[in-house]
Amino acid sequence: MDRFKIHGGKKLNGTVQISGAKNAALPAMAAALLTSDPVTLQNIPRVRDIITMAKLLAHMRCVVGSPDLPPSEFTIRAENVSMQEAPYELVKTMRASVLTLGPLVARFGHARVSLPGGCAIGARPVDLHIQALEALGAETKVEHGYVEARAKRLRGATFRFPKITVTGTENILTAAVLAEGETILENSAMEPEVTDLAELLIKMGAKIEGVGTSTLRVQGVDKLHGATHAIIPDRIETGTFLVAGAITGGELLLTNCEPGHLKTVIEKLRSCGVEIKCEGNGKVRVRAGKKLVAADVTTEEYPGFATDMQAQFMALATQAEGVSKVRETIFENRFMHASEMARMGANISIDANLAVVTGPTPLSGAPVTASDLRASAGLVLAALVADNTTTIDRVYHIDRGYERIEEKLTQVGAHIERVTDSR
Ligand code: UD1
């Protein structure tokens, strides 16, 4: 199991190229199941979840090929899909495997996908995915840890998500595009990753209106065709590096990003005294400013403050003067990084979904354990300002979603080393 050893206290300076968004690439890969033609995806991040999705598609007998290694471009050919099943072994390592449910049942009339079960950041059920598929006429059965869905052909319907769900919206959108007639999805997620998926589907011949709004209107078509699509930049990686520049008191230029996708995060960081300049052409410059000051944050669905940036913001709050209240409204149990940061000297108290961070406190290097993808990013940021050495265990969490994070940080002056041992 790999660990990171980080020697904190270095100002980060230089340029970081932002990768493609994992959370946009995953539904795009699943959408390739909708056609027998090749679908080529570019700007794919080289992270473990993408490899898991490629394995899952290969398990279904798709041909997944890439001109470069490790891949940043894939062509997926779902011509001879003979296995419409996502097995437990793959789903348990990546919840987003459930994204294959909608496209499989839409094109083949049948899908069997293992239930993701609980995970470190809360129960995270898929009941809304199932409810919405049923509204489109699928018969579903949950048995032996699997959800099975069948429909000769899905029928368009109006469905209002009782709660906003990102992968739920993506799953049902990729089902509705091949359904008979019109589907209206109300209270849909408006995340840029959903919009990116809709744009890919439109290139494949889908008829979708209301893209970027909470009401998606789909006219089902009989068949979709191949397409080539470049995945949007990763807004969470962008936000993480914005905090990295700010927290270490350095100056970073981030390239290949889309600041329009993280307006709320940028505004919040500015209110903490961070200087952020959007320079056009996918470039954003970040500098610490004179002093970091506290700010309150409540996580919300897009365009609100992303829950996936909460742990990173908390790391910043430990270095800001005053009291920052961080309220998590999307997931239960998403403060596990707080106790690890407290072990490094942070002053954080938790009451249900509210964390109160009083800063600034000097952080001191300590052995800590990553509990999920974004929690690990928060711990890396805390370690960058801690004195001495921090060892972060279980970095496989961060490898799921951040491309070469230790290389990118090293390039701008951080002292970070990956330690592989055979424990
Ligand atoms: C996606 C992102 C994840 C991000 C999250 C919220 C991907 C691959 N992952 O996760 O990084 O943190 O959005 O922005 O894109 N819920 C239900 N029933 C359901 C579905 C969801 O109750 O059927 C609840 C969840 O438990 C959670 C809330 O709805 O409390 C939002 O979850 P959702 O938007 O579905 O998160 P994901 O799509 O899993």
Q: What number does the ligand 1 atom closest to the CA of 332 have?
A: 30
* Centre of ligand 1 from the C-alpha of residue 290, in Å: 37
Which of 49, 101, 163, 329 should be mutated for ligand 1, with most atoms under 8 A from CB?
163
One digit per residue, the tens of pLDDT, for the chain of length 423 reads: 899 999 999 999 999 999 999 999 999 999 999 999 999 999 999 999 999 999 999 999 999 988 777 779 999 999 999 889 999 998 888 989 999 999 999 999 999 999 886 556 556 789 999 999 999 999 999 999 899 999 999 999 999 999 999 999 999 999 999 999 999 999 999 999 999 999 999 999 999 999 999 999 999 999 999 999 999 999 999 999 999 999 999 999 999 999 999 999 999 999 999 999 999 999 999 998 889 999 999 999 999 999 999 999 999 999 999 999 999 999 988 999 999 999 999 999 999 999 999 999 999 999 999 988 999 999 999 999 999 999 999 999 999 999 999 999 999 999 999 999 765
Closest residue to atom 11 of ligand 1, CA basis:
308
User: Exposed, middle or buried, 181 (CB in 10 Å: 0-12/13-18/19+)?
Assistant: middle
Question: Which pLDDT score, from 0 to 100, does residue 333 have?
Answer: 83
Question: Which pLDDT score, from 0 to 100, does residue 122 have?
Answer: 59
Which of 165, 261, 353 should be mutated for ligand 1, with most atoms under 8 A from CB?
165
Indicate whether this model's pTM tops 0.75: yes
* Centre of ligand 1 from the C-alpha of residue 163, in Å: 10
Helices 166-176, 101-108: axis angle to 10 degrees equals: 10
Instruction: Give the pairing of strands 110-114 and 139-143.
Output: unpaired
Q: List, chain by chain if needed, residues with CB within 6 Å of any ligand 1 atom.
A: 23, 26, 95-96, 122, 124-129, 163, 165-168, 193, 307-308, 330-331
**Rounded CA separation 172/131 (Å):** 10
* Centre of ligand 1 from the C-alpha of residue 124, in Å: 7
Q: What number does the ligand 1 atom closest to the CA of 167 have?
A: 38
Question: Which pLDDT score, from 0 to 100, does residue 119 have?
Answer: 55
Which of 50, 166, 332 should be mutated for ligand 1, with most atoms under 8 A from CB?
166
Q: What number does the ligand 1 atom closest to the CA of 301 have?
A: 14
Contact 260, 233 (CB under 8 A): no
Q: What number does the ligand 1 atom closest to the CA of 26 have?
A: 8
As annotated, the active-site residues are: 119
Write the single-letter amino acid at 369: T
